Structure 1
């Protein structure tokens, strides 16, 4: 068997898995690091186009392009600058910027010189400083004032607060002359590309990373306080990128579309690292990505012009694209991947009928590098998120004692294999970052927190987050039952069901939805619709509330804690509506739990406390004089 055969087994259907795993992963000759992967690509295809970066959606015909050799040269220059500034193997380099031409090589350079620590610049003001402290990063690569004003202002605050020693500034793709930068005492500030202009572009001056070295620190969604920092190794990122690249349905000529931010593992693994394996060209959307409203009016033209073969997005993006008339030849689009949250059946059906393109589900999480399961467009498995990827193992266990459960039985999904993260960052010492699985990993198995069953053919079927279950009088209700039913309504674009506190049942289901443009359906009509569509009587929602947008986490996943807080507030307002002296009722997320606060006059304190005591919730009464 040749090296090429070892690197690229047939991987186009469920039956290929056993043959792939007959060869140990260690014998497949994978590169040792993300840098080694880039060097391999540059040696094999030096002049092939690697990156096509759009300055913004409205200017999609004015891209900046980089070949593989040019990308490697940029990475060398940036990494050598970081090395010259004192970055070593165990040092984190923070990156906080929307996507742009300089951020892509800067991310790879941070993994070459030290450890990349991407940060979502839209996070709260208290989260960003804490993530910097946890990572230990004193060097920040950041969007400048021309690229992202709010992010730049956040960086200046961090610098003034003494949290940074070096600020390396990025500019918009294809920008003209740079603007002058401010001077802050004790902080070295300059444009990244200018400062690295004279650094060696042929090789890296420092020691090269090896497979067990940390490559990146990715923050989690941040739904329960400050997000955790999950540590990825080079071997984990390489293995996961290879599992994705091994897809036999996409050849070297397949152009990939990238519009997710690089602080998200999907963008790094799926649209940056995986294409390097086969030398696939990648078209990167502008800095706003899928948040650029102008993108949707031009989307199908972009697909046609650049012959896009594959894309990756979350369900809400496909729901929007379904409403965009197909005004170009999109026959090149073969692989539309979807993940991050469950795919409603209505979104799948509408997108496929609208475009004739099959939506292919996948499943993964940051703590498993990114992807754990994939589907096959030619072998549909309705209701499943896919089959496990090669060399990863999955099982379903009973909550509490983690005893494995047989096929078809719902329990907590666990994963093991080469992509499992090294742990969460809990501190630093003289050797580098201190890592701890914090109870999520036991004997090599990662507890995903997702409820699932695995069918007899090995396909994974999700049943929601364990903590998102609605428990009505001891009866477990899967929120997806309600959400899928509401999404069958032609005017509903998104739906989320949560539990509302209830005196008798503990909690009862309620739903929140968003509507399409021009919709005129009422909340009472949606409630009536749900009563006809929800298949389980106990799951019938008690109310349906229309919102302009459903809340999401910092990494774009549905944020049900926010909705549960709103449902708690609404229930207590109703329960206390007839109590004079109640000034305000609020509910907020505090350390992952919903806490209700009722402001009252002194005379009604005891009566209000008696009402609140009937609920199985955390609450407090604030007396106002």
Structure 2
């Protein structure tokens, strides 16, 4: 990379136009994630690249790798994959909590073929579906020492014939002899480190990837619960990581903290690829990441010891850290990044008041590689999730009934659309003789990505989110952002999570209702919560008709809020009440089909079907009748 073009000034929102005055193609970015690593190893061979903690309790016993050492491991692992038969169009699945071996294994999979990270917490059915779709026959997986549950899942997938090879990872810093692994007929099973020990660490024996080659397949949570597989090329991962690395607020000596799992794009792009551009060090938490409870009691000491400059986490992490006494010198922590879900104002205020550290919001999605907007700690825009990143274009559109788009001017709320060098080429829908088949599945329109998020843009390119398009509650033609209701309830001291959806209504089409979880020991009544929300929401139409307390709100297999399940519950409750007293109505259920809710009314032989249909006809919902089972 040309030194004059490498790092433009990028410290505030006014720098964007000067950055974009130079075309991205003129900046000489590396051709692939492998080329990026080679460049880092040549520039800073002896500098520490990775510090991996075995777990929070033993954070002082970390394992380290230099940039040159990381490249050597990647070469060994990639050469083993090549020897097994992995080529450029072959996917390698990786299913493991974070460990020192997983980082180079992920980069090696992108070098030899295509990395396909999997969340080991997904159902067996979904994992098998993703393996089939990716075509991966090699699975890099946690072993019995590292994660017994993931190992059991991997073993079962192999037994069912979904993979041909299990390459097993050990815990960080494992000193005891590795336990024997079971043999499986026709399946290669062995420890990755041992199998790769004899491979060449100096060079990759295969063909290196090109910018347009596929680099990774990432499961996306979506709104239906069934993950899709988003394809990334090397070019889009490099482009997105460079725009983050260009941050002038962090110098080459900055150290990042990473605790999100590597099946998440944030972990790959923000805390693995981005530091490679600047030779920055990354401290990786143990396999449980932010779910490791002892981490919070040690966190500020870890920040002081490693001189952490920045970190990335979700709002719930900062809510917990705000309650942890600052018992160390954390002056190195320049700012903390937050994203993935809306940041409640109370969390921001508490964290910043307790720590003095600014929370910087960002916005992104897997289909746009990872990050698409960033904020600036010294130039806050209240209510915004940040300014669009360089070279990414954004607009808001109104989607007409025929599916065509109408562009909206700045300041108008519509569906947020993104174009530019980070937009993905499509979802993996299958394979043919030419390789993987990619399809935008309606999300790509003339090079623009339909994010599914409602937003408005200001003239400076700052994004103000207004909820999910599919989650919008439309009450008698009046649009209600569910976040208004959720924010009101989250302001209640007893509420720990909230989800608002539309409940079918015979007069208004739908009305807002809410579901919440409470802090342990709280006994606040549902009606009291509804009264609280009514007093807090900015408009009467948004006041929830009911508030229902759940032990836990439904999530997708990828851990994202699953609104269809709440809409299904609201539909069932409304129709059960509306049909009460009609003869022959046995019960009401609600099914979810690709994110849509279908009411199912079960009736007996003496049901008055015309009367039942007349009631159902009052609602703008899909429904069907079912006989008694």
Question: Is TM > 0.5 for Structure 1 vs Structure 2?
Answer: yes
- Residue aligning to 2:229: 229
What does 1:562-573 correspond to in 2, within 5 Å?
562-573=565-576
Instruction: Identify the range of structure 1 (296-305 vs 524-533) with the bigger mean alpha-carbon deviation.
Output: 296-305
- Residue aligning to 2:95: 96
Cα deviation digits, residues 380-409 of structure 1 (max 9, x gap): 001111111111111112212322211111
Secondary structure of the 1:343 match is coil
CA contact (8 A) 2:419 2:447 kept: yes
Cα deviation digits, residues 513-546 of structure 1 (max 9, x gap): 2233443433222211111110111000111222
Distance 2:496 2:327 in 1: 22
- Residue aligning to 2:337: 337
Q: 1:534 to 1:233 in 2, by over 3 A?
A: same
Cα deviation digits, residues 176-216 of structure 1 (max 9, x gap): 22111111111111111111110111110001111111100
Q: 1:326 to 1:545 in 2, by over 3 A?
A: farther
RMSD over aligned CA atoms reads 1.8
Please report how far the alpha carbon of residue 29 of structure 1 lies from its aligned counterpart in structure 2 after TM superposition.
Answer: 1.8
What does 1:281-292 correspond to in 2, within 5 Å?
281-292=281-292
- Residue aligning to 1:364: 364
Secondary structure of the 2:179 match is coil
Distance 2:119 2:128 in 1: 12
What does 1:164-179 correspond to in 2, within 5 Å?
164-175=163-174, 176-179=176-179
Please report how far the alpha carbon of residue 608 of structure 1 lies from its aligned counterpart in structure 2 after TM superposition.
Answer: 4.5
Please report how far the alpha carbon of residue 427 of structure 1 lies from its aligned counterpart in structure 2 after TM superposition.
Answer: 1.8
**Count of residues paired in the alignment:** 624
Distance 1:272 1:555 in 2: 20
Cα deviation digits, residues 92-119 of structure 1 (max 9, x gap): 1111111111111000000000000111
Please report how far the alpha carbon of residue 322 of structure 1 lies from its aligned counterpart in structure 2 after TM superposition.
Answer: 2.4
Cα deviation digits, residues 115-173 of structure 1 (max 9, x gap): 00111111122111111111111111111122222222221222122221111111111
Q: Does 1:591 align with 2:590?
A: no
- Residue aligning to 1:148: 147
CA contact (8 A) 1:181 1:189 kept: yes
Among candidates 532, 537, 547, match of residue 535 of structure 2: 532
What does 1:34-113 correspond to in 2, within 5 Å?
34-113=33-112
What are structure 1's unaligned runs of at least 5 residues?
none
Q: 1:494 to 1:76 in 2, by over 3 A?
A: same
Q: 1:170 to 1:18 in 2, by over 3 A?
A: same
- Residue aligning to 1:449: 452
What does 1:446-595 correspond to in 2, within 5 Å?
446-578=449-581, 583-595=586-598
CA contact (8 A) 1:388 1:458 kept: yes
Q: Does 1:411 align with 2:410?
A: no
CA contact (8 A) 1:605 1:623 kept: no
Please report how far the alpha carbon of residue 258 of structure 1 lies from its aligned counterpart in structure 2 after TM superposition.
Answer: 0.8
Instruction: Identify the range of structure 1 (511-520 vs 12-21) with the bigger mean alpha-carbon deviation.
Output: 511-520
CA contact (8 A) 2:122 2:558 kept: no
Q: 1:243 to 1:489 in 2, by over 3 A?
A: same
What does 1:192-207 correspond to in 2, within 5 Å?
192-207=192-207
Distance 1:555 1:505 in 2: 34
Please report how far the alpha carbon of residue 61 of structure 1 lies from its aligned counterpart in structure 2 after TM superposition.
Answer: 2.1
Secondary structure of the 1:111 match is helix
- Residue aligning to 1:309: 309
Please report how far the alpha carbon of residue 595 of structure 1 lies from its aligned counterpart in structure 2 after TM superposition.
Answer: 2.5
What are structure 2's unaligned runs of at least 5 residues?
none
Distance 2:444 2:475 in 1: 30
Cα deviation digits, residues 332-386 of structure 1 (max 9, x gap): 2222111112222222222222222111111111111111111101000011111
Distance 2:545 2:394 in 1: 36
- Residue aligning to 2:22: 23
